[in-house]
Chain A
């Protein structure tokens, strides 16, 4: 049995964090959801800087694009150009369906781009499918 996945969710909207949390609670994988609410915190978490010195390296990151302080594009760019972090899969998980955001994210090295579904059932299904894919099916480095 694999040890439970560590998921880092970077999102400033507590309502969405609540829905993701709720969706993951109903799956059999027991993943740990860690959340931070802006780009600065995300980088601090990934680099185990204070106050995240005890942080565990995530199996994958769910990254919103529009964040306060430092936005998701900046986080994505820095993460993917950091030799120690770039192997961590990043799933962009955002409200924006803009073609510009989609292509820009992939250019910056995103591993997947998902527009948050507007319908609750679709939202829950998407989060659960995401977890199943990265935790159960995808082979990860490490």
Chain B
């Protein structure tokens, strides 16, 4: 709406609608206003219809209406403005108006009335009317904004997931939202006016008071409570529950208000306890494992030294006996000494194999991407004399890189190919090594045309010191496949055999793919 703003020349603009049948009077009215510094932009109407048309088309600052018009009374302009929901002040400008009529007009909402023979009063009356209108409109706007804010706040309070409780300086609850009703299981109507203590277990009340006292004395107006310790709340039914809370303070004209925003953390607390218990169990298990690993290392050292030494004495000196006294005692003595030597030597290899088995993965370096082709190549080099002696043929596909330490991968292939050759049948040994992708792992196969393994022994062969044949037939301690199994399983893989007697064997195992990481590819 155009308002009576000062113009550049210091004049105030005024957009006025005059309801007047006497043009001379209209001119006088305009003149009286301009004389007092208004820059008047005005229209003049006489009939109700004209008035309605004008007033809805132009935003006037003021309506100046004659009280007595031939067709209608100017005071009826008020009804039209009200009907059109227009807040424009109406001042009656009239030749005469009795006291009773004047009172009636003011009652109906006319801002003021000015007699035509006192037009000098008009500018002041207009100024006041404009002032009042502006004030009224600003107030309405402020009230609207306030109402909107209150509605928004009420919406937030109602939909908040957290309980929100406000108490006044006397400690009485003055706000209790829906979430608070749920958390404390108490309707707001019952909570309002109650002391906050009602919702705090008795044994925590002193601590809570101290908390609030410190907060009140401190400079901070916001604080998170119970960051270290979880607070305890009390439901209306007497049940206690853990909660987290933050506190804020607002100073109003009527005193301080404290607002607590709190959350029932029963579930989180239960989860936290559960996790804590799990972690405790885990760390206890880890400590046990560390201790047991240490024991195992100690045992391995004892085996490698303390057990070996006396055994070596037995072996060496029975051998010395056999050497120096052969034929000097009787035949039985030579035989007995031979058995003793053999037993001692076998015991030595058993201990060494056991140590090798226990060492798998313990002194190993971090697995890098290792090219399996190179590992097979190295394994075959190590088996060179065996391969030549048995006229074995080993075929190897192009193999992928896998995330296993190089020495372990070499040992894995060496043990499997070594077995394939050792347990050959009538035909010269044929071995084929292949690999195929299986999800994120590689499935390797080492297939031979050897003597095969009966299905009932397929699990047994992977256990340490398990043998299916007499030592004289096939030498060995039965540790090779156990080591293979340990290597594969340490890398999260599986190993098994597919075989039947007389039909050759295929050993299959999975190893993790090294991903796209080929940077660490080891060269041998």
Residues of A within 8 A of B (CB): 13, 15-16, 19, 22, 66, 94-100, 116, 118-121, 123
Query: Chain A residues with Cβ under 8 A from B352's Cβ?
Result: 97
B56 vs chain A, min Cβ distance (A): 102
CA distance A94 to B348 in the complex (A): 15
Q: Is the CB of A120 within 8 A of B323?
A: yes
B158 vs chain A, min Cβ distance (A): 70
Query: Chain A residues with Cβ under 8 A from B96's Cβ?
Result: none
Those of B232-276 within 8 Å (CB) of chain A: none
Q: Is the CB of B304 within 8 A of A19?
A: no
Q: Does B363 contact A (CB under 8 A)?
A: yes
A16, A99, A120: the one within 8 Å of B315 (CB): A120
Those of B296-315 within 8 Å (CB) of chain A: 300-301, 304-305, 308-309, 311-313, 315
Given the contacts A97-B355, A98-B301, A99-B363, A120 and B308 also touching, CB distance less than 8 Å = no
CA distance A66 to B307 in the complex (A): 13
B320 vs chain A, min Cβ distance (A): 6
Q: Does B204 contact A (CB under 8 A)?
A: no
B360 vs chain A, min Cβ distance (A): 13
B345 vs chain A, min Cβ distance (A): 6
Q: Closest B-chain residue to A19, C-beta based?
A: B316
Q: Does B317 contact A (CB under 8 A)?
A: yes
A26 vs chain B, min Cβ distance (A): 12
Q: Is the CB of A119 within 8 A of B315?
A: yes
Query: Chain A residues with Cβ under 8 A from B172's Cβ?
Result: none
A94, A99, A123: the one within 8 Å of B316 (CB): A123
Q: Closest B-chain residue to A96, C-beta based?
A: B305
Q: Does B3 contact A (CB under 8 A)?
A: no
Query: Chain B residues with Cβ under 8 A from A119's Cβ?
Result: 315-316, 319, 345, 348
A139 vs chain B, min Cβ distance (A): 32
A18 vs chain B, min Cβ distance (A): 9
Query: Chain B residues with Cβ under 8 A from A118's Cβ?
Result: 308, 311-312, 315-316, 344-345, 348
Q: Closest A-chain residue to B318, C-beta based?
A: A120
Query: Chain A residues with Cβ under 8 A from B304's Cβ?
Result: 95-98
Q: Is the CB of B316 within 8 A of A95?
A: no
CA distance A94 to B305 in the complex (A): 9
- B-side binding surface: helix, strand, loop or mixed? helix
Q: Is the CB of A95 within 8 A of B315?
A: no
Q: Closest A-chain residue to B316, C-beta based?
A: A120
Q: Is the CB of A15 within 8 A of B313?
A: yes
Counting chain B CB atoms within 10 Å of each CB, which of A16, A99, A119, A121 scores highest? A119
Query: Chain B residues with Cβ under 8 A from A99's Cβ?
Result: 359, 363
Q: Is the CB of B305 within 8 A of A98?
A: yes
Q: Closest A-chain residue to B320, C-beta based?
A: A120
Q: Is the CB of A121 within 8 A of B317?
A: no
Q: Is the CB of A116 within 8 A of B301?
A: no
Listed by A's residue number, 11 A-B pairs whose Cβ atoms lie within 8 Å are A66-B305, A95-B309, A95-B312, A97-B308, A97-B355, A118-B315, A119-B315, A119-B316, A119-B348, A123-B312, A123-B316
Counting chain A CB atoms within 10 Å of each CB, which of B320, B345, B348, B363 scores highest? B320
CA distance A106 to B309 in the complex (A): 22
CA distance A43 to B355 in the complex (A): 33
Query: Chain A residues with Cβ under 8 A from B320's Cβ?
Result: 19, 22, 120
Query: Chain B residues with Cβ under 8 A from A94's Cβ?
Result: 305
Q: Closest B-chain residue to A116, C-beta based?
A: B312
CA distance A81 to B309 in the complex (A): 30
B90 vs chain A, min Cβ distance (A): 107
Those of B210-239 within 8 Å (CB) of chain A: none
A120 vs chain B, min Cβ distance (A): 4
B121 vs chain A, min Cβ distance (A): 114
Across chains A and B, which 6 residue pairs bring their CB atoms closest together, nearest first? A120-B319, A118-B348, A96-B305, A95-B309, A120-B316, A15-B313
B319 vs chain A, min Cβ distance (A): 4
CA distance A98 to B320 in the complex (A): 27
CA distance A19 to B313 in the complex (A): 10
Counting chain A CB atoms within 10 Å of each CB, which of B316, B320, B323 scores highest? B316
CA distance A22 to B321 in the complex (A): 13
CA distance A70 to B319 in the complex (A): 32
CA distance A123 to B281 in the complex (A): 51
Binary A-proximity of B356-368 (CB < 8 A = 1, otherwise 0):
0001000100000
A83 vs chain B, min Cβ distance (A): 32
Question: 13 extra interchain contacts, Cβ-Cβ under 8 A, other than A66-B305, A118-B308?
Answer: A13-B309, A15-B316, A15-B317, A22-B320, A94-B305, A95-B308, A97-B308, A97-B352, A98-B304, A119-B315, A119-B348, A120-B319, A123-B316
Query: Chain A residues with Cβ under 8 A from B305's Cβ?
Result: 66, 94-96, 98
CA distance A119 to B315 in the complex (A): 7
Query: Chain B residues with Cβ under 8 A from A19's Cβ?
Result: 316, 320
Q: Closest A-chain residue to B362, C-beta based?
A: A99
A130 vs chain B, min Cβ distance (A): 16
B296 vs chain A, min Cβ distance (A): 13
Q: Closest A-chain residue to B348, C-beta based?
A: A118
B293 vs chain A, min Cβ distance (A): 14
Query: Chain A residues with Cβ under 8 A from B308's Cβ?
Result: 95-97, 118
B134 vs chain A, min Cβ distance (A): 94
B441 vs chain A, min Cβ distance (A): 30
Query: Chain B residues with Cβ under 8 A from A123's Cβ?
Result: 312, 316
A100 vs chain B, min Cβ distance (A): 8
